[in-house]
């Protein structure tokens, strides 16, 4: 593209972005400086920058976390608008509320390690579960904060009693092999089956 026309097209693109954001009632626009727009949606912020050399930079953050980042050379309007829409999609994407699951064993140490592994697994796979662990003697004080309590195999004999005591929270036992091998995939399957069954009730 001829440098003159590229500069003209970039200016048109910047104006187009400005009016796109202005006409979207969900978004708030702030002109940060001559080359930068900040676009706000709830607790997320997008930064849209057009550098003099024709590089466009797009980023979306939520607090300290970077959710989206792109930088590209402006070549044509169609390509640039498509990438802008992708940024806006990420900016306005609703965070799914995390579901709370509690793992429980006699002293809380083994399930504490499993919970740590599960949280890393969920984070990597963008699964909205928050897994915590506790010792059996602490259950009565905290069970109301959880949808599901999964107890270690060595406490299997307590499932019926705990199910009665901790209503309406559901109590299930973790499969011995799943527990012994810290199988995150298998435990996730058990958790997902619980939520599927809950939805069908």
* Residue range 40-87, pLDDT digits in tens: 999 999 999 999 888 999 999 999 899 999 999 998 888 999 999 999
Distance of CA 150 to the CA centre of its chain: 23
Fold of the domain built from segment(s) 99-200: Rossmann fold (3.40.50)
Rounded to the nearest 5 degrees, what angle is found at the Cα of 53, between the Cα atoms of 48 and 55? 35
Q: Residue 132 is inside which H or E element, if any?
A: strand 129-135
Residue 55 contacts by C-beta under 8 Å, 6 or more apart in sequence?
Answer: 71, 72, 73, 74
pLDDT averaged over every residue in the chain: 91
pLDDT at res. 176: 96
Q: Given a cut of 70, is residue 91 above it in pLDDT?
A: yes
**pTM score over 0.75:** no
CB 49 within 8 A of CB 72: no
pLDDT at res. 166: 92
pLDDT at res. 6: 62
Bridge partner residues of 47 (DSSP)? 38, 59
Going by the DSSP 8-state scheme, the letter that residue 2 receives in this structure is: -
Residue 2's pLDDT band (cuts 50, 70, 90): very low
140-146 — which CB contacts under 8 Å span 24+ positions?
140/165, 140/166, 142/102, 143/102, 143/169, 144/169, 145/100, 145/102, 146/100, 146/101, 146/102
Higher pLDDT, 198 or 193: 193
Higher pLDDT, 150 or 96: 150
């Amino acid at each position: 593209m001829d440098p003159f026309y590229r500069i003209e097209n970039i200016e048109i693109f910047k104006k187009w972005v400005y009016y796109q954001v202005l006409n979207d009632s969900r978004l708030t626009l702030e002109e940060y400086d001559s080359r930068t727009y900040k676009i706000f949606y709830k607790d997320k912020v997008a930064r849209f920058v057009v550098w003099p050399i024709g590089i466009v930079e797009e980023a979306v953050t939520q607090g300290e976390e970077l959710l989206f980042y792109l930088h590209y050379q402006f070549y044509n309007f169609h390509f640039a608008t498509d990438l802008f829409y992708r940024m806006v999609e990420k900016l306005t994407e609703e965070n799914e509320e995390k579901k709370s699951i509690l793992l429980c064993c006699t002293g809380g140490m083994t399930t504490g390690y499993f919970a740590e592994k599960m949280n890393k697994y969920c984070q990597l796979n963008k699964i909205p579960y928050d897994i915590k662990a506790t010792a059996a003697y602490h259950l009565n004080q905290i069970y109301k904060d959880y949808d599901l309590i999964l107890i270690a195999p060595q406490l299997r004999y307590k499932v019926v009693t705990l199910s009665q005591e901790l209503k309406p929270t559901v109590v299930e036992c973790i499969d011995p092999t799943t527990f012994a091998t810290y199988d995150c995939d298998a435990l996730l399957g058990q958790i997902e089956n619980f939520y599927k069954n809950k939805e069908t009730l």
